């Protein structure tokens, strides 16, 4: 039954491309929106469709929310109807691939759906055919291809050893040969492939350019879905379901995570482009997820999955804010802006909410997932990593305060003194995402008991 999450978007693409005149861009947008709303409903109320574990449901919810926000922003920012029609088709294909990633139970199918998402992402990054976007797409496809080769080589080894590609079969085979050099190498190479897909440091070469050069709606999609499903979720799933947590894997995850947290934040502090700052911020925030995973305890992994959700929401809101600002000013250069909150109050307020959540300020959602990760690290004896995670929050607060000061506060630039608030298509998604961030934070005790503890149960807690 989980296959319906994959088949529904694919069937939608087929229907949209039937030779009927009514199947235009407007129809495609409405059709896609209804499909994503249905996915959100089924992820929130799984009793209507009890086929996935809680981690998959969290990701299905993220995919539905971000796809809907992307569709809304895309409808406003892509003026040409024929291009919008193509955009909706690509978005549906990408969502089918992302849904496949979070529902499959064998490693080769996981690889296939990862490549579907990668192919759609490559086209979407270059969608407006601007030189910077084409360069970013080229970097993405080159590094993604390297990751693909790594993953395929590893899968070949796993198939040779296990005789099967299911998570269960490979896990059992690895337990029977825990010290094999070939298997250890295959695990390391496969993880490197996923580090590239996730854009973690030092494998992040494609990510800042892709996030900043892609069309506004595509940036939301990349930050909200692509790296989360293709890289981060896949890493969590294969480590917990196949590789396990020996000391080497823990140390690799911890090292990659803490390097991403610190150097991603430091890089974000030096940027002047709004979207590029958010790109490096994403690297840093994903680092928190990785050290939560590296902790290897049920609480740490549950905190990591919870932070995937929270990061999806607040970072998508910030990229929507960026789209709103760009639509009114024609630029994402923060040095050319100031005081925009005076003319764009909704955009300014939602940006503050999302920024504070990203910085881990209570009582917003981002605070709770970070505190769970830090607590899990401390309880497990990883004191150094716990301290770094807390101190890095100061850097995070620093670059987000810089964004607020340079873009939204201070005296407004005369050039933009006559602008008005962005359209409803850009403010409504930001408001909804900000409200989710506030709501999840305020109702954390219920969220913890209803969703986080069941997540821990998946991994033996």
The string of pLDDT tens digits covering residues 245-266 is 888 888 899 999 999 999 999 9
User: Residues 6 or more apart from 406 whose CB is under 8 A from it?
Assistant: 334, 335, 337, 338
The residues that bridge with 459 in the sheet, in sequence order, are: none
Query: What pTM does this model have?
Result: 0.91
Structural domain contains residue 277: yes
Answer yes or no: is 284 within a domain: yes
Spatial contact of 459 and 301, defined as CB atoms under 8 Å apart: yes
The model's pLDDT over 152-184, given as tens digits with 9 standing for 90+, comes to 999 998 888 888 888 888 888 888 776 677 888
Domain with 448 in it: 253-461
- What is the sign of the dihedral through the CA atoms of 393, 398, 401 and 406? negative
Inform me whether the pLDDT recorded for 461 exceeds 50: no
Domain count, the chain: 1
Q: Kindly report, residue by residue over 338-379, the tens digit of the pLDDT.
A: 888 888 899 999 999 999 999 889 899 989 999 999 999 999
Domain presence at residue 156: no
**pLDDT number for residue 307:** 92
Q: What is the mean pLDDT of the chain?
A: 87
- Phi/psi for 52 (5° steps) reads -120, 155
Q: Cβ(194)–Cβ(236) under 8 Å?
A: no
pLDDT of 457 > 60? The answer is no
Task: Tell whether 135 is covered by a domain.
Answer: no
Sorted by sequence, the CB contacts under 8 Å of residue 145 that are 6+ apart come out as: none
82 is a domain residue: no
Q: Is residue 167 part of a domain?
A: no
Cα separation, 283 vs 271, whole angstroms: 14
- Side-chain-side CA neighbours of residue 189 (13 Å): 18
Report percent pLDDT > 70 for the chain.
95
314 is a domain residue? yes
In a domain, 85, yes or no: no
For residue 459, pLDDT over 60 is answered with no
Q: Dihedral sign for Cα 372, 377, 380, 383, please.
A: negative
User: Is the pLDDT assigned to residue 460 strictly greater than 60?
Assistant: no
């Amino acid at each position: 039954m989980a296959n319906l999450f994959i088949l529904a978007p694919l069937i939608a693409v087929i229907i949209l491309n039937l030779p009927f005149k009514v199947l235009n861009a407007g129809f495609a947008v409405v059709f896609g929106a209804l499909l994503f709303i249905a996915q959100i409903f089924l992820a929130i109320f799984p009793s209507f469709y009890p086929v996935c574990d809680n981690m998959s449901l969290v990701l299905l919810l993220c995919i539905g929310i971000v796809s809907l926000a992307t569709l809304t922003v895309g409808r406003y920012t892509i003026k040409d109807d024929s291009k919008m029609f193509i955009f909706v088709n690509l978005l549906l294909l990408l969502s089918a691939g992302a849904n496949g990633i979070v529902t499959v139970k064998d490693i080769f199918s996981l690889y296939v759906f990862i490549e579907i998402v990668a192919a759609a992402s490559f086209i979407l990054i270059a969608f407006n055919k601007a030189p910077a976007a084409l360069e970013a797409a080229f970097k993405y496809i080159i590094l993604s291809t390297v990751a693909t080769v790594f993953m395929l080589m590893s899968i070949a080894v796993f198939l040779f050893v296990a005789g099967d590609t299911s998570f269960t079969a490979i896990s059992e085979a690895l337990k029977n040969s825990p010290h094999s050099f070939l298997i250890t190498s295959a695990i390391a190479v496969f993880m490197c492939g996923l580090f590239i897909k996730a854009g973690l440091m030092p494998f992040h070469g494609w990510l800042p350019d892709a996030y900043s050069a892609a069309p506004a709606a595509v940036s939301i999609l990349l930050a909200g879905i692509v790296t989360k499903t293709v890289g981060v979720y896949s890493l969590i799933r294969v480590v917990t379901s196949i590789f396990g947590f020996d000391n080497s894997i823990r140390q690799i995850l911890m090292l990659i995570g803490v390097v991403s947290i610190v150097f991603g934040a430091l890089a974000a502090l030096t940027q002047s482009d709004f979207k590029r700052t958010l790109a490096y911020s994403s690297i840093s925030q994903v680092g928190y997820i990785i050290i939560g995973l590296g902790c290897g305890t049920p609480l740490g992994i549950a905190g990591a999955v919870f932070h995937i959700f929270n990061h999806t929401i607040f970072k998508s809101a910030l990229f929507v804010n960026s789209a709103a600002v760009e639509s009114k000013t024609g630029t994402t250069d923060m040095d050319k802006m100031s005081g925009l909150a005076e003319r764009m109050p909704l955009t300014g307020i939602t940006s503050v909410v999302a920024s504070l959540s990203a910085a881990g300020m209570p009582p917003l959602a981002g605070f709770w997932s970070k505190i769970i990760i830090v607590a899990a690290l401390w309880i497990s004896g990883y004191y150094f990593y716990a301290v770094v995670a807390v101190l890095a929050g100061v850097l995070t607060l620093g670059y987000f305060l810089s964004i607020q000061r340079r873009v939204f506060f201070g005296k407004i630039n005369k050039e933009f003194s006559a602008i008005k608030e962005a359209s409803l298509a850009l403010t409504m998604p930001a408001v909804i995402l900000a409200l989710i961030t506030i709501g999840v934070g305020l109702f954390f005790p219920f969220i913890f008991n209803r969703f986080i503890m069941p997540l821990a149960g998946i991994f033996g807690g």
